[in-house]
Amino acid sequence: MSKTTGRAFENKKLVGELFTLTYGALVSQLIKDYEKDDEVNKQLDKMGYNIGVRLVEDFMARSNLGKCQDLRETADVIAKVAFKMYLNITPVVTNWSLANDEFSLILENNPLAEFVELPERHSDLSYANVLCGAIRGALEMLQLEVETWFLKDALKGDTATELRVKFIKKLTDALPAGED
Amino acid sequence: MTVFSVYVVNKAGGLVFQYDHQKTSIELEKTFSYPLDLKLEPQTDYVTVVFGQQDGIKVGHVILSVNGKPANGRKLQDGSDVMEFIENEKNYPLNIRFGRPKLSSNQKIMMASMFHSLYAISVQLSPESGSSGIQKLETDTFTLHCHQTVTGVKFIVISDPKQVGVDSLLARLYTIYSDYALKNPFYSLEMPIRTELFDSQVVAAIEQTEKVGS
């Protein structure tokens, strides 16, 4: 965290906690509405997708980055710029597959699940599934179709949270002119 | 040192937002006595001057109002036909206001999609691969600046040739779009933007660019 004056730091922390609280309220309401963990996961992914589709424009407007040349660059930008900008964390990019089309983002501490403990009856719930949807939605707007899922979840007893991203294909049908 | 208008075009080439920032539009009002020495001709949307330029009223100008009553195409607001009213000697002396015709919204939508296609053609024309499309279109009376985002949204600004700072205006417009359009949950993607917040932010950005530009 950057060094800020006492007051500003307090304010940032409070806003961060409000965010965590809001997300928790959202997940609990979804559980009440849909009951099955599977359904809730699907809904979280859908919501994440809608967020990602809009957030990507904000990201491009603020970061002034051009197109990435390959998946490695994309992964770096997601981890070092995007996650840093929006959640103030920098996940580590690892576990590249042999064909270089799959990678993992290791999140040391997930700000969405800061105060959360997952009970036994919701062991199938991907609590932070909205992140998967957001990455999928954002990359789809940039003509990259990917599949995202959680490999490991700190809430389910693993040491850290691992988000896997797999490249499916480049979407060439709706390519804006000049991008190839 | 003016920005004339702003267009925002979506991925598919449809016009999503359009704003005309014109502080002074040239309008001339003159009193006439019978017979009228201008030759007028009715067109589909307006009655235009075709002959007899005088006193600043030029060929191509259209009738905006007669005797203070605004003209709605070829008829006045009370329903009477403009040409008949003018040809009737009993109505003289009368007051006619002329001005340059403004583009209708349908015409603007057509222009936007045409520009979208021209942009794509310009990418094909380039001898190098991976070229961008039209970034600047210069004429003697205006310059058109275009910025296409990675996601395919185009921001087009038509300004005075001497206007500076349009690049930063385009970047600012992108930020305003990502904030006031995309972060509004009631706005559906690719649809026309009809929110006052967005409008006022665009106006503020344009005014700032005009102030800074020398």
H, E, C per residue of chain A: CCCCCHHHHHHHHHHHHHHHHHHHHHHHHHHHHHCCHHHHHHHHHHHHHHHHHHHHHHHHHHHCCCCCCCHHHHHHHHHHHHHHHHHCCCCEEECCCCCCCEEEEEECCCHHHCCCCCCHHHCCCCCCHHHHHHHHHHHHHCCEEEEEEEEECHHHCCCCEEEEEEEEEECCCCCCCCCC
To the nearest whole Å, the CA of B136 is away from the closest chain A CA by 15
Residues of B in contact with A178 (CB under 8 A): 119, 123, 130-133, 148
CB atoms B150 and A176 under 8 Å: yes
> B47 with B82, same domain?
yes
Q: What is the pLDDT of residues A81-126, one digit of tens each?
A: 999 999 889 999 988 988 888 999 999 888 888 888 888 888 889 9
Residues in chain B: 214
Structural domain harbouring B118: 3-23+104-213
Q: Which of B71, B99, B127 is the last residue of a domain?
A: B99
Give the domain CATH number at B54. 2.30.42.40
Cβ neighbors of B3 (< 8 A, separation 6 or more) are B21, B157, B158, B159, B160, B163, B166, B169, B206, B209, B210
**How many CB atoms within 10 Å of residue A30?**
18
Q: What is the pLDDT of residues B148-160, one digit of tens each?
A: 998 889 999 999 8
User: pLDDT band at residue A5, thresholds of 50, 70 and 90?
Assistant: low
CB atoms A142 and B178 under 8 Å: no
> B11 with B46, same domain?
no
What six digits make up the tokens of B151?
A: 């996601």
| A169 DSSP β-pair partners | A145
Cβ(B148)–Cβ(B154) under 8 Å? yes
Cβ(B113)–Cβ(B13) under 8 Å? yes
Mind listing the pLDDT tens digit of every residue in chain B (214 residues)?
788 899 999 999 999 999 988 755 677 888 888 777 888 888 877 788 888 877 778 788 888 888 777 777 777 777 778 777 777 777 778 888 888 777 788 999 999 999 999 999 998 888 888 888 899 999 998 999 999 998 889 999 999 898 889 999 999 999 999 999 999 989 999 999 999 999 999 999 999 998 886 4
- The pLDDT value recorded for residue B30 is 82
For A62, the closest chain B residue by CA position comes to: B175
Report whether pLDDT(A13) > 60. yes
* Residues of B (19-58) whose Cβ lies below 8 Å from A: none
CB atoms A61 and B133 under 8 Å: no
Nearest to A141, CA basis, from A26, A48, A57: A57
> B19 with B54, same domain?
no
- The pLDDT value recorded for residue A139 is 93
ipTM of the complex: 0.82
Q: Which of B99, B119, B153 is the last residue of a domain?
A: B99
Does residue B148 sit at the A interface (CB-CB below 8 Å)?
Answer: yes
Average predicted confidence (pLDDT) for chain A: 87
Interface with A, mutate which of B113, B150, B184, B201 (most A CBs under 10 A): B150
Cβ neighbors of A120 (< 8 A, separation 6 or more) are none
Q: What is the pLDDT of residues A142-175, one digit of tens each?
A: 999 999 999 988 888 888 899 999 999 888 776 7
> B161 with B81, same domain?
no
> B37 with B91, same domain?
yes
Cβ neighbors of B79 (< 8 A, separation 6 or more) are none
> B147 with B209, same domain?
yes
> B208 with B117, same domain?
yes
- Report, in angstroms and rounded to the nearest whole number, the Rg of chain A calculated over CA atoms: 17
Q: d(Cα A14, Cα A8) in Å, to the nearest integer?
A: 10
> B31 with B19, same domain?
no
Closest partner residue to A62 (CB to CB) among B133, B150, B175 is B175
Residues of B in contact with A141 (CB under 8 A): 151
Does residue B171 sit at the A interface (CB-CB below 8 Å)?
Answer: yes
> B112 with B153, same domain?
yes
> B69 with B173, same domain?
no
Q: d(Cα A36, Cα A15) in Å, to the nearest integer?
A: 31
Number of domains in chain B: 2
Q: Which of B72, B99, B126 is the last residue of a domain?
A: B99
What six digits make up the tokens of B44?
A: 């589909």
> B188 with B82, same domain?
no
CB atoms A61 and B177 under 8 Å: yes
Give the domain CATH number at B203. 3.30.450.70
Closest partner residue to B132 (CB to CB) among A55, A64, A178 is A178
Cβ(B166)–Cβ(B145) under 8 Å? yes
> B9 with B35, same domain?
no
Residues of B in contact with A176 (CB under 8 A): 11, 148, 150-152
Does residue B174 sit at the A interface (CB-CB below 8 Å)?
Answer: yes
CB atoms B150 and A60 under 8 Å: yes
